[in-house]
Amino acid sequence: MKMQSNYPFMLIKLLTLHSLLALSAAQDFDFFYLVQQWPGSYCDTKQGCCYPSTGKPASDFGIHGLWPNRNDGSYPSNCDSSNPFDASKISDLTSHMQSEWPTLLCPSNNGLAFWGHEWDKHGTCSESVLNQHDYFATTLSLKNEINLLQALRSAGIQPNGQKYSLSSIKTAIKQASGYTPWVECNNDSSGNSQLYQIYLCVDSSASGFIECPVFPKGSCGSSIEFPSF
Ligand code: 5GP
Ligand code: 5GP
């Protein structure tokens, strides 16, 4: 008799536990930024760069990361220390990663530290949508869908050290891809503002590009350099 009267209580406890677990696994972000860096603008800074051990990367944009973000501009980071980067999970992607996601940080290395940092900081926050292998595979295939350098070249914007208006850069990418990018600048060693990274937005299931719900803060000058690499 006593045991029986405990059942409803136990059931409620179990249901509460279940929904708490479901909540902790639920996604805590609204969209992704796909961030790509121009290698010339990483290398010509005061800090300089080192080519990866596999050699000088192509003169093209490289992936920085796929970053879960919230509509209010905030973002989660380092979400699951129990699921650290494991290179063996992406061994089939290594050669593709080396060409599309090269590291430029010194000292020269094979890229695993950069990829591991991106997984641990950002990837673990979208693990309910993309497991470790798919996080990298999906990022690679998203990059492939929009050729940023070709979009710029088609509008006469070349990595030749000249200055271009920020609006012409955004318009060229919007025209070629259909999506409005965010442009982040940095300074070369002489202090000139230059095109450093390009942000595009991806829906929360990482199935395709969307217009950005919110842009990061900060801005470039109205005219910026596009250095060679
Ligand atoms: P920084 O402060 O140099 O712009 O960014 C440093 C790092 O903070 C980035 O590489 C990235 O990991 C993270 N970060 C900066 N801004 C954003 C943002 O708007 N969204 C997300 N998800 N991460 C960001
Ligand atoms: P985030 O800015 O996303 O937090 O991560 C950038 C981190 O990765 C920094 O600690 C940076 O030193 C390291 N890193 C390694 N390779 C690269 C690279 O090629 N570009 C950038 N921006 N950071 C790199």
Q: Average the pLDDT over 151-164 and give the result.
A: 98
pLDDT at 27: 82
Q: By mean pLDDT, which of 5-14, 55-64, 111-120, 196-205 is the weakest?
A: 5-14
Choose the residue to mutate in 44, 105, 108, 112 for probing ligand 2, maximizing ligand atoms within 8 Å of C-beta: 105
pLDDT at 12: 46
**Residues 175-225: pLDDT tens digits?**
999 999 999 999 999 999 999 999 999 999 999 999 999 999 988 999 999
Closest by CA position to 78, among listed 121, 116, 119: 121
Is the preceding peptide bond at 107 cis, omega within 30 degrees of 0?
A: yes
- Whether 25 has a pLDDT exceeding 70, the answer reads no
What is the spatial distance between Cα 151 and Cα 215, in angstroms, rounded to a whole number? 21
| Ligand 2 center from residue 13 Cα (angstroms) | 44
Query: In whole numbers, what is the pLDDT of the chain averaged over residues?
Result: 92
152, 60 contact by CB (below 8 A): no
Active site residue 118: yes
87, 112 contact by CB (below 8 A): yes
181, 201 contact by CB (below 8 A): no
Active site residue 122: yes
Choose the residue to mutate in 75, 97, 103 for probing ligand 2, maximizing ligand atoms within 8 Å of C-beta: 103
Active site residue 117: no
Domains in the chain (CATH in brackets) are: 31-226 (3.90.730.10)
| Ligand 1 center from residue 227 Cα (angstroms) | 23
Instruction: Pick the ligand that lies closest to the CA of residue 108.
Output: 2
pTM comes to 0.91
Structure-token pair, residue 156: 């006469």
175, 160 contact by CB (below 8 A): no
Closest by CA position to 220, among listed 151, 147, 169, 144: 169
**Residues 65-110: pLDDT tens digits?**
999 999 999 999 999 999 999 999 999 999 999 999 999 999 999 9
